[in-house]
Structure 1
Amino acid sequence: MINKLSLKMRLTILTGCIIIAIAMCLTATSIYNIDNKFSYPQLNKNAIFSSEIIPSNISREKDNSQLGVTIQISEAKKQFKVSILIWMIGIIIVGIGATYIIVSRALKPLNNLSNTIKNINEYNLSQPIENFSTKDEIGSLATSFNKMLSRLDKSFSNQKRFAANAAHELKTPLAIIKSGIQVLKLDENPSIDDYKENIDITEQSTQRLIQVVDDLLKLTYNEIKEFDDIISVNKVFQDIIKELDETISSKNIHIHLSDFSIDVLGNKPLIYRAFFNILENAVKYNKQGGSIEVSTELCNDMAVISISDTGIGIPHDEIENIFDPFYRVDKSRSREISGSGLGLSIVKTVIEKHSGTINVKSNKDVGTTVNVLLPYYIYDLPKQF
């Protein structure tokens, strides 16, 4: 029931209960002390036995005087008890009222913060909450909320950019297919060669559509997979180099693969896909006659796989964006090189699924180094007897 009340009322009730308890304890203590610490004067019971020493009229007057004092003390005690009970009730009422006012003022910044938050929507996420620069809990809450707004604003911007880029990537091959069909319609007597040329263009555009859709599915694929394959990193790169042999030979690129063998535990198809994308980029964006070096080493409990190339490089201010879906460093040049722009996004997703990390170091027109850190597989040592 109390959970349905506002925070102001709950704090007031809680503080009021404490005030009531303290006031009742103090009142009970005062009444106990007045009853036990103040004693009535004793009547002179031995006066009857000392009548020959003290005259009877003097003894009777003394007893009457003591009885009067006793009555006065009794009346004073009653008045004190009534007075202290009245004061107790008054203190409780004043204390609860003062608590309600103080709590209301203390929670006013929180109410203002709540009203400000209510006016925030997807169109004004970039506007931070202001006028809450105090160093108390309310200021801390406002600061944390501003940080959350910044993350949400970035997330919404990424989603909008992703949707726009995805639409563009899908629209381009569709527009090419449509243009080819329109050209055929304009020609009254298209030749067989025209049909063949249009089919080839349609096939290429369809393949590009399939690649984009396939990459999007891989990027958003969250189904739990098995991660118990023992994967030889060197063997994976050897297979990738064989698959890319034609492109490597056409650009006369020299690849040096480290002999230091390391095994990692994970999903082999996903690991293969991630390293294929990295090495394919190192080949695509490399210079004619360039080189690529693949090295592996152990660092603490992680395997470090480094892929360095002598390619065109990446500007420093764009490195943090290269893992965004469809992001291209040089859009004009990237159009000349096939790809959906999702390769590195898939790589990062795969590496993170394997509890690893990836970072990139690059200098424009000098080259790029991609470092992948993955937990390596430790073989069980045979028991010694």
Structure 2
Amino acid sequence: MKKLTLRMRLTVLTGCILTAIAIILTGISIYSAKDKFVEPLSKTILDTSSLNQKQSLNKEIVEEPILDEYSNTGLNVQMKITEAKEQFVDESIIGMIIMIIVGIGATYIIAGQALKPVNDLSHKVKNINEHNLSYRIENISTKDEIGDLAASFNKMLDRLEQSFIYQKSFAANAAHELKTPLATIKAGIQVLKLDNAPTIEDYEENIEVTEQSTERLIHVVNDLLTLAYKQTEKFSDNIELKNLFETISQELQPLCLEKTTTIYLDICEETIIGNQTLIYRVFYNLIENALKYNMNNGIVKVIGRPQNKFIHISISDTGIGIPKEAIPYIFEPFFRVDQSRARKLGGTGLGLSIVRTIIEKHKGTISVKSTVNVGTTFEVKLPKT
């Protein structure tokens, strides 16, 4: 059975209400006419006729034609009243039926006009698919819920279009990141095949390149899995921030010596609840980046202070900085400010994306401020225990 349209449902519902009201009003009018007019009038006429007859009987001489005249007159009036009552009832019922039919028809027409913007919106929405997400709902000028619905749908299309663009870009970048080391491995194998008598040194060199490319592949795949994984095994570790940063600083000392850079720690004695491994990776990545992209003889300052219900941790460097136009995109997967330099330093473009994902899982936030050739500051806010 075909479902009723919204227009028909509104018409049927309004018709039922209108029919009920019309029946009630007609019944009240018929009852009121009978109770307030017909019966009192009939009673008055009968009483008057009876009184006249009595007065005539009290006279000395009573003429029979006069009595008949009084009797006939009362009977005629009573019949006319009855006929008028029946006519009123019939006309009331007919008027009620006409009013119901006209009311239902008017409701159907008005509902169609009122729902026309909804039908227009429905037809326009049906024409939107993954191939024309740039299309927007226009010419819906009603300043009511329909207009609000069209505006909300346009905003949803904006988000959906951005999501599709992001997914396509992510897939393309991921394929490129995986393709590069695979192409390197394949090229090494082809070189060996072309050489009729490869030496041990050739094999060793090819094995070393293959190992480096394989490590890069593993690194990219692990980072992609981290981004895709929505849950962690537990968020119940008591993490002492001061010990955490001291451990990270010690592990990064070789890089500090290489860059002749100093790490300055000023961390409060606070503890947070979370996943020890993930939080460690967040701050390891941030401090490692601060060292990699720092100037020689530079400084990396790590300061942690409690503020209200959060721990504010800032990581500042005196490095090359980030261009203003690139800041909104640095947390996007595979985005690199300097493509050649990032590859040279071994970056995959996923580090900051992973950092933001982990922080958001811990109900925290991360922000960045940077000036080119002056330095960059990342500020992380994590809930206190």
Give the TM-score band, short-chain normalised.
over 0.9
**2:133 partner SS:** coil
**2:280 partner SS:** helix
What is residue 196 of structure 2 aligned with on the other side? 188
User: In 2 relative to 1, CA 128–47 (structure 1 residues): closer, same or farther, beyond 3 Å?
Assistant: closer
In the alignment, the residues of structure 1 paired with residue 300 and residue 232 of structure 2 have an alpha-carbon distance, to the nearest angstrom, of 34
User: What is the letter of the counterpart of residue 24 of structure 2?
Assistant: C
Q: Does structure 1 retain, via aligned residues, the 8 Å contact 2:368–2:376?
A: yes
Counterpart mapping for 1:338-357 below 5 A:
338-357=346-365
Q: Name which of structure 1's ranges 317-326 and 128-137 shifts more when overlaid on structure 2.
A: 128-137
Alignment of 1:310 with 2:315, yes or no, is: no
User: What is the letter of the counterpart of residue 42 of structure 1?
Assistant: L
* 1:375 corresponds to which of 345, 358, 383: 383
Query: Structure 1 regions of 5+ residues with no counterpart?
Result: 378-385
Q: Name which of structure 1's ranges 145-154 and 182-191 shifts more when overlaid on structure 2.
A: 182-191
Alignment of 1:323 with 2:331, yes or no, is: yes
Q: Does structure 1 retain, via aligned residues, the 8 Å contact 2:321–2:374?
A: yes
What do you get for the CA RMSD once the two structures are aligned?
1.7
How far off is 1:211 after superposition? 0.3
**1:361 partner SS:** strand
How far off is 1:222 after superposition? 2.1
What is residue 107 of structure 1 aligned with on the other side? 115
Q: 1:79-135: CA deviations, max 9, x gaps?
A: 000001001001101110111111111111211111111111111111212212332
* 1:52 corresponds to which of 58, 65, 73: 58
Q: Name which of structure 1's ranges 291-300 and 78-87 shifts more when overlaid on structure 2.
A: 291-300
User: What is the letter of the counterpart of residue 256 of structure 2?
Assistant: I
Give percent identity, aligned residues only.
55
User: What is the letter of the counterpart of residue 321 of structure 1?
Assistant: Y
How far off is 1:215 after superposition? 0.6
User: What is the letter of the counterpart of residue 107 of structure 2?
Assistant: T
Alignment of 1:153 with 2:152, yes or no, is: no
**1:269 partner SS:** helix
What is residue 34 of structure 2 aligned with on the other side? 35
Q: Name which of structure 1's ranges 152-161 and 49-58 shifts more when overlaid on structure 2.
A: 49-58
* 1:290 corresponds to which of 281, 298, 303: 298
**1:226 partner SS:** coil
Q: After the TM superposition, which segments of 4 or more aligned residues of structure 1 sit over 6 Å from their partners? A: none
* 1:66 corresponds to which of 74, 84, 107: 74
Alignment of 1:225 with 2:261, yes or no, is: no
In the alignment, the residues of structure 1 paired with residue 210 and residue 53 of structure 2 have an alpha-carbon distance, to the nearest angstrom, of 136
How far off is 1:48 after superposition? 5.7
In the alignment, the residues of structure 1 paired with residue 145 and residue 335 of structure 2 have an alpha-carbon distance, to the nearest angstrom, of 40
User: In 2 relative to 1, CA 100–69 (structure 1 residues): closer, same or farther, beyond 3 Å?
Assistant: same
In the alignment, the residues of structure 2 paired with residue 265 and residue 147 of structure 1 have an alpha-carbon distance, to the nearest angstrom, of 37
What is residue 119 of structure 1 aligned with on the other side? 127
In terms of fraction of residues, the more helix-rich structure is 2
In the alignment, the residues of structure 1 paired with residue 98 and residue 166 of structure 2 have an alpha-carbon distance, to the nearest angstrom, of 62
How far off is 1:59 after superposition? 4.1
How far off is 1:233 after superposition? 1.5
**1:258 partner SS:** strand
In the alignment, the residues of structure 2 paired with residue 47 and residue 26 of structure 1 have an alpha-carbon distance, to the nearest angstrom, of 39
Q: Does structure 1 retain, via aligned residues, the 8 Å contact 2:268–2:306?
A: no
In the alignment, the residues of structure 2 paired with residue 139 and residue 252 of structure 1 have an alpha-carbon distance, to the nearest angstrom, of 62
User: In 2 relative to 1, CA 276–56 (structure 1 residues): closer, same or farther, beyond 3 Å?
Assistant: farther
The alignment's TM-score, normalised by the length of structure 1, stands at 0.94
Alignment of 1:333 with 2:347, yes or no, is: no
In the alignment, the residues of structure 1 paired with residue 232 and residue 79 of structure 2 have an alpha-carbon distance, to the nearest angstrom, of 90
Q: Name which of structure 1's ranges 167-176 and 40-49 shifts more when overlaid on structure 2.
A: 40-49
**1:4 partner SS:** coil
In the alignment, the residues of structure 1 paired with residue 58 and residue 181 of structure 2 have an alpha-carbon distance, to the nearest angstrom, of 137
In the alignment, the residues of structure 2 paired with residue 16 and residue 134 of structure 1 have an alpha-carbon distance, to the nearest angstrom, of 26
Q: 1:172-216: CA deviations, max 9, x gaps?
A: 111111111111222222111111111111111110001001111
Q: 1:270-315: CA deviations, max 9, x gaps?
A: 1111111111111111111111111112222111111111111112
How far off is 1:224 after superposition? 4.3
What is residue 14 of structure 2 aligned with on the other side? 15
**1:99 partner SS:** helix
**2:357 partner SS:** helix
In the alignment, the residues of structure 2 paired with residue 330 and residue 56 of structure 1 have an alpha-carbon distance, to the nearest angstrom, of 131
**1:37 partner SS:** helix
Alignment of 1:212 with 2:217, yes or no, is: no
User: What is the letter of the counterpart of residue 24 of structure 1?
Assistant: I
How far off is 1:66 after superposition? 2.0
**2:344 partner SS:** coil
Counterpart mapping for 1:159-174 below 5 A:
159-174=167-182
The alignment's TM-score, normalised by the length of structure 2, stands at 0.94
In the alignment, the residues of structure 2 paired with residue 328 and residue 259 of structure 1 have an alpha-carbon distance, to the nearest angstrom, of 30
Q: 1:38-80: CA deviations, max 9, x gaps?
A: 1212243355654123845434422321221111111101000
Q: Does structure 1 retain, via aligned residues, the 8 Å contact 2:244–2:280?
A: yes
**1:261 partner SS:** coil
User: In 2 relative to 1, CA 185–49 (structure 1 residues): closer, same or farther, beyond 3 Å?
Assistant: closer
In the alignment, the residues of structure 1 paired with residue 205 and residue 148 of structure 2 have an alpha-carbon distance, to the nearest angstrom, of 65
Q: Does structure 1 retain, via aligned residues, the 8 Å contact 2:267–2:305?
A: no
User: What is the letter of the counterpart of residue 26 of structure 1?
Assistant: L
User: In 2 relative to 1, CA 255–67 (structure 1 residues): closer, same or farther, beyond 3 Å?
Assistant: same
